[in-house]
Amino acid sequence: MRRRDKMMNGDLSSFSMRELFLAESETQCRILSDCLVALEIRPGDPSLLESLMRAAHSLKGAARIIDLDAAVRVAHAMEDTFVAAQKGEVSLGRDAIDRLLRGVDLLSRLASAEPSGEMDAEVEAFVTEASAAEKSSPAAAAPVAESTAPARKAEDDSRSLRVAAESLDQLLGSAGESLVSSRRIRSFSHDFWHLHAHQRRTAAALENAIAFAAGGGDVSILLRQLQTLVESGDRLVLEGLAEFDRFERNSTQLSQRLYGQALACRMRPFGAVASSLRRAARDTARRLDREVVFEIRGEGTDVDRDLLDKIESPLVHLVRNAIDHGIEPAADRTAAGKPAAGRVTIEASHSAGFLIIRLSDDGRGVDLSKLREHVVERGLTDAATAAKLGEGELLEFLFLPGFSLRSEVTEISGRGVGLDVVQAAVREARGTVRISSEPERGTAFVLQLPISLSVMKALIFEIGGEPYALPLARVDRVMTVPACEMESVEGAQYVHVGPHRVGLVDGATVLGRPAEAEGRDLVHVLLISSAEERFGIVVSRFLGEGEIVVQPLDKRLGRVRDIAAAALTEDGSPMLLLDVEDFLLSIRRLAVDGQLHGITARAAGLEKAARQVLVVDDSLTVRELERKLLSSLGYAVEVAVDGMDAWNAVRTGRFAAVITDVDMPRMDGIELTRLIKNDARLRDTPVIIVSYKDREEDRMRGLDAGADYYLTKGSFQDEGLARAVADVLGEEAAP
């Protein structure tokens, strides 16, 4: 058993006294913290004071056993205070609770760290302050100081789990059933050998019948024997299949139960972090002089203990953020017709196979106008674009690193270290976080997380002949679009998702897998996003959704780019779980290096693959004129804004013809024509130049570069362009 399991089940022989004291201090300090926060709401509650006194007394005794004198002195001072409060000699107001909570933090650090001179000074100061407070009037207040979070002892790879005896008994019971059930496989093996022997007898009887018939004998008796053997063999097969079906069903149910019980051993109630959340709410409200009612719902909701460890700090930050940025001072709330005390609520629940945590407040909400201005001031976008951003898009900026709406720096906010940390932690746990806000009504954060880090719902797909998976929570949308609906601008390919244009990236390129040899009629796209950008990842095909068992990669592999973990498909084949953040980073890196390649596609059942035309002109009016004309004739038209844009497009796409202007920025039409005609793959692509320059020398320059046609805009006629395109494509011109 692991060390903590032994402790929970009474096997303490391998533990040092210091380890035992650390375990007890964690429990008693949690009781002290919870009861002190509750005492602020229910002043003088006898049951709370009794619990506080017992916890301090137990800690004092345990510390004395291991000769931790500093902890003895702190616990003794706290115990004296609680006894005095029980006798009515002192009143434990907010200032006193501030001081006592600092004592709890000090005890936690003393239990998990080696004594130091600095801590000795803190102990002396605390004991002196506690003694002075007891001698002063009940209304006397101690100065408020920033609370120090309890230090946690680092765990190594042999970390332990606390497992209830009942859960362990259930797990062992199911494991025993599984062992007994597995022995039935031997009987199936015996039955199959019996069936095999029967089939050999049947085959021998058939051979005898054939031989007898060849000699001209009457085979009717042999055939009846053979028929009897076949019928009995058929019964054996049916009986075996029925028994195997029963075994398969029972085995599946047992495996599911066994897995559920094993998973339950990893689970903790959400309420396990309630103490730190209540403490954070209480301390933040105290520092900011805000009246806050803090409520936790769903404390019994089961959460994977590793996941709970990962999200505890982000949740604490969200609680502080809600009180600091959301809840107004009591006077402001009263003036606005609200209750003087603000309300912050956090609720945990299970929904559709996910853990949903919702943290909301009834404060002022996010000032969208101020946020819009701040986004522009920081140069994150221009004013015109910012004015078009919707509420959801604007709120996403709050998750950017270093982003803060506060102009002044306080001990709680203004440093720009905030929601980006929350989002990073949630994404590391393979989840998502969303924000919504209503002016003067409050703000809400919704975290969607896997219930367990070992098993998760995932989207399974194929790239380059290999299966991959993504956490379902990180997939924005799945879509299949006709290849002809893709657009190309400046060498990049896009699809429209609602009113937005989303860039396409070939998943095989990012992962270094071989690209598909043939073009695609339909393009399978999954959308993933970060706070800053959104991409459509093109995959070979979708294999469906399902629950996968996540297996960590062998540590000897080190960090594997784009890969978070391994998993198994339903047939037992291995596959890889993609790391979304690393994958997005790889896309950015490839884009900067110019190594992102286009997606080879064909329009199935349509002639547009052979009638795809690229129009190149820096004039929007001319581009649209030519595009509408060619589209009306049945051509599929893409546009480029200059020669460089067009060169990127022809290298990544397939065009039946290119129609280009001459004078354009970055690269002119003559240079574009020359590049196309000098490229072994592209030299057969017809190029039609349409230019205002109508001098003979200009015409000769274009034709010398390799242009198939040279038309002038001055004498531009729809029929002339249509005839030129039809001619270079070997078609009859439209009447």
Q: What is the pLDDT of residues 593-625, one digit of tens each?
A: 666 666 654 433 334 445 788 999 888 777 878
Mean pLDDT to the nearest integer, 457-477: 88
Q: Which of 436, 430, 433, 398 is nearest to 417 (CA)?
A: 398
The pLDDT confidence band at residue 141, using thresholds 50, 70 and 90, is very low
Of 66-80, 574-588, 596-610, the one with minimum mean pLDDT is 596-610
Rounded to an integer, the average pLDDT of 589-595 is 70
Determine the pLDDT at residue 338.
93
What value does the mean pLDDT take over residues 184-192? 66
Strands 267-269 vs 657-660: parallel, antiparallel or unpaired: unpaired
Question: What CATH homologous superfamily does 269-450 map to?
Answer: Histidine kinase-like ATPase, C-terminal domain (3.30.565.10)
3-state secondary structure 633-681: CCCEEEEECCHHHHHHHHHHCCCCEEEECCCCCCCCHHHHHHHHHHCCC
Alpha-carbon span 531 to 422, nearest angstrom: 12
Neighbour count for residue 194 (Cβ, 10 Å): 12
Region 455-465 average pLDDT = 85
What is the average pLDDT across 196-219? 75
| pLDDT average, residue stretch 671-677 | 91
Q: Could you tell me the pLDDT band of residue 149, with boundaries at 50, 70 and 90?
A: very low
Residue 360 pLDDT class (50, 70, 90 cuts)? very high
> What share of the chain in percent tops pLDDT 70?
80
Q: Which residue has tokens 């990180």?
A: 474
The predicted pLDDT at position 607 comes to 42
Mind listing the pLDDT tens digit for each residue in 5-59? Answer: 444 444 444 456 677 777 778 888 888 888 888 888 888 888 888 888 888 888 8
For residue 639, the cross-strand partners are 615
- Asked which of 116-120, 197-201, 290-294, 673-677 is least confident by mean pLDDT, the reply is 116-120
**Band of pLDDT at residue 339, cut at 50, 70 and 90:** very high
Residue 721 Cα distances to 581, 710, 717, angstroms: 48, 10, 7
pLDDT beyond 70 at 286: yes
Task: Give the pLDDT band of residue 184 (cuts 50, 70, 90).
Answer: low
Domain 608-728 CATH assignment equals 3.40.50.2300: yes
- Window from 4-8, 88-92, 460-464, 657-661 with minimum mean pLDDT: 4-8
Per-residue pLDDT, averaged over 288-313, amounts to 89
Task: State yes or no: pLDDT of 716 exceeds 60.
Answer: no
User: Collapsing DSSP states into helix, strand and coil, what is residue 126?
Assistant: helix
C-alpha 703/C-alpha 697 separation (Å) is 10
Whether the predicted pLDDT of 294 surpasses 90: yes
The mean pLDDT of 348-352, rounded to a whole number, is: 86
CATH architecture for the domain at 3-135: Up-down Bundle (1.20)
Helices within 87-219 (DSSP H only): 94-112, 117-135, 165-182, 184-214
Q: How far is Cα 103 from Cα 94, in angstroms, rounded to an integer?
A: 14
In 3D space, the residue among 562, 573, 568 whose CA is nearest the CA of residue 507 turns out to be 562
455-592: which CATH topology? OB fold (Dihydrolipoamide Acetyltransferase, E2P) (2.40.50)
Mean pLDDT for the stretch of residues 115-139: 72
What is the structure's pLDDT at 293? 93
- The tokens for 323 are 């009180």
Name which of 424, 627, 583, 602 is nearest 519 in CA terms. Answer: 602
The pLDDT, as a whole number, for residue 334 is 93
For residue 41, what is the DSSP state?
H
Average pLDDT, the chain: 78
Q: Is the dihedral of CA 493, 497, 499, 502 positive or negative?
A: negative
pTM for this prediction: 0.56
Q: What is the pLDDT of residue 296?
A: 93
The alpha-helical segments, DSSP class H, found in 113-183 are: 117-135, 165-182
Residue 493 has pLDDT above 90, yes or no: no
Residue of 311, 347, 269, 272 whose CA lies nearest to 30: 272
Model confidence at 172: pLDDT above 80? no
Mean pLDDT of 125-135: 77
Q: What confidence category does residue 416 fall into, taking pLDDT thresholds of 50, 70 and 90?
A: very low
CA angle 598, 601, 603 (to 5 degrees): 150
* pLDDT surpasses 70 at 115: no
Residue-wise pLDDT tens digits, 253-280: 777 777 666 767 778 889 888 888 998 8
* Average pLDDT of span 214-237: 76
